[in-house]
């Protein structure tokens, strides 16, 4: 998806205003043509995670094609997403879209009685689709008389970037979460994780002695965790800032920590969680030491292949800063440029402190200017979206799809070597093709 605005570029010195991040980093802010997926792509991993939910996109045939292309074909099970396609009369405001939406939802729920939560996902602002989905969700929820929870959120590419669609989805769940009024301490891990990673994290938190643990999103929307003044919030993804703010408004306190990518980031993440519950550092280290040692041995296989290589990140997934930190500090790569769609200082301050002071950090995108810099830099590897990968490969640049880093299990100790291998593969492919 491409969004075009006035090509205006500004640059500010990045003393990131008391946010605890490296005061010497300069942040270059850009506006202009962007190349990124829209927030609808988040449905691809959300529908797999929340097993009793269904995502009904209200949009055009283009939106339906996007989901089909991104999610692939489900052979052995019905997918938990679909598109209610708007026609020309709908978009022109000549038809009553509410009546048609009610009919589609009624048929869907009759066919799929297993649905516990129905998300109405707007592909465009309400002015474009001629529907107020918030009001529609409330009306449909009343009609279901509590049998199905109906919520609405925006996945519009005009409002959200690629991974930001998850943030708007989880924000819609926050008002539905029960309150915690007993003041008991509990840890809430925020951000979608593959089940295998969630299980690994749960075992380590249990070994540390965390008194109560929950994940948002849960595997079933009917099992939303409670939130209140005793809740300690630990983000597993850097793109859930709006949800984190909503949870803080409900009494939770945010734990500042790097993200669990690689050995260093994962160790710091667990230690930050343990410190929030006054767990001694030696007990935390005892719990995580075996997994950290395995991760170190696994990473050693790939360091020589990555050390000294130069890498650039074009803005796409919001994972660029923590992944850049991992590759530079633990794999010995040189950061040529890190681009992010937007810079959420509250969510990324601990990561920014770990970046080298001379890194070129850009927020937003002016695509043509960024491509000019990329061609001048000629890095060994460029991490970018699908729409740019093939053209850059044709110019002789080696690329890595950023979307694969979102879809793959890459968090935690046991995935550290797998994460490094994802960056080794395209370098090896280029070498084999050269032979």
Q: Are 35 and 72 in contact (CB under 8 A)?
A: no
Burial degree of 353 (CB within 10 A; 0-12, 13-18, 19+): middle
Tell me if 384 is assigned to a ligand binding site. Answer: no
Count of CA atoms in the C-beta half-sphere (13 A) of 255 = 27
Residues 6 or more apart whose Cβ sits within 8 Å of residue 322: 238, 258, 259, 261, 265, 348, 351
Q: Are 130 and 93 in contact (CB under 8 A)?
A: yes
Tell me if 169 is assigned to a ligand binding site. Answer: no
Tell me if 331 is assigned to a ligand binding site. Answer: no
Q: Which helix (H) or strand (E) holds 59?
A: strand 53-59
408/319 Cα distance (integer angstroms): 13
Cis peptide before 133 (omega within 30 of 0): no
422/410 Cα distance (integer angstroms): 9
90/189 Cα distance (integer angstroms): 41
Q: Are 12 and 38 in contact (CB under 8 A)?
A: no
Q: Binding site, residues?
A: 38, 63, 124
Binding residues for [4Fe-4S] cluster are 38, 63, 124
């Amino acid at each position: 998806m491409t969004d075009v605005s006035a090509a205006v570029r500004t640059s500010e010195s990045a003393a990131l205003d008391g946010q605890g991040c490296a005061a010497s980093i300069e942040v270059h802010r850009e506006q202009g043509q962007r190349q990124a997926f829209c927030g609808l792509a988040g449905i691809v991993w959300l529908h797999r995670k929340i097993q009793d939910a269904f995502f009904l996109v209200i949009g055009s045939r283009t939106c339906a094609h996007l989901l089909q292309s991104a999610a692939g074909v489900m052979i052995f099970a019905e997918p938990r997403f679909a598109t209610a396609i708007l026609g020309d009369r709908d978009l022109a405001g000549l038809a009553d879209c509410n009546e048609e939406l009610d009919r589609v939802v009624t048929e869907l729920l009759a066919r799929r009685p297993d649905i516990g939560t129905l998300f109405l996902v707007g592909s465009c602002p309400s002015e474009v689709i001629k529907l107020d989905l918030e009001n529609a969700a409330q009306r449909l929820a009343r009609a279901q008389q509590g049998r199905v929870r109906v919520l609405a959120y925006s996945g519009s590419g005009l409002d959200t970037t690629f991974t930001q669609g998850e943030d708007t989805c989880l924000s819609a769940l926050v008002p539905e979460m029960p309150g915690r009024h007993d003041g008991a301490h509990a840890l809430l891990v925020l951000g979608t994780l593959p089940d295998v990673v969630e299980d690994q994290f749960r075992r380590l938190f249990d070994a540390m002695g965390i008194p109560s643990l929950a994940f948002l999103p849960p595997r079933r929307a009917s099992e939303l965790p409670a939130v209140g003044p005793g809740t300690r919030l630990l983000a597993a993804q850097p793109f859930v800032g709006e949800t984190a703010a909503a949870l803080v408004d409900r009494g939770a306190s945010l734990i500042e920590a790097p993200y669990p990518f690689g050995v260093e980031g994962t160790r710091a993440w667990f230690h930050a969680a343990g410190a929030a519950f006054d767990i001694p550092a030696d007990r935390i280290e005892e719990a995580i030491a075996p997994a950290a040692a395995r991760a170190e041995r696994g990473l050693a296989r790939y360091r020589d292949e990555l050390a000294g290589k130069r890498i650039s990140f074009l803005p796409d997934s919001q994972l660029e800063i923590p992944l850049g930190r991992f590759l530079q500090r633990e794999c010995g790569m040189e950061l040529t440029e890190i681009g992010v769609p937007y810079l959420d200082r509250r969510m990324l301050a601990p990561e920014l402190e770990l970046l080298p002071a001379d890194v070129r950090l850009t927020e937003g995108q002016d695509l043509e200017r960024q491509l000019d810099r990329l061609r001048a830099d000629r890095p060994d590897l460029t991490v970018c979206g699908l729409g740019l990968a093939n053209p850059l490969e044709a110019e002789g640049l080696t690329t890595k799809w950023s979307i694969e880093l979102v879809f793959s299990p890459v968090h935690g100790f046991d995935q550290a070597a797998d994460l490094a291998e994802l960056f080794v593969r395209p370098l090896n492919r280029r070498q084999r093709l050269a032979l």
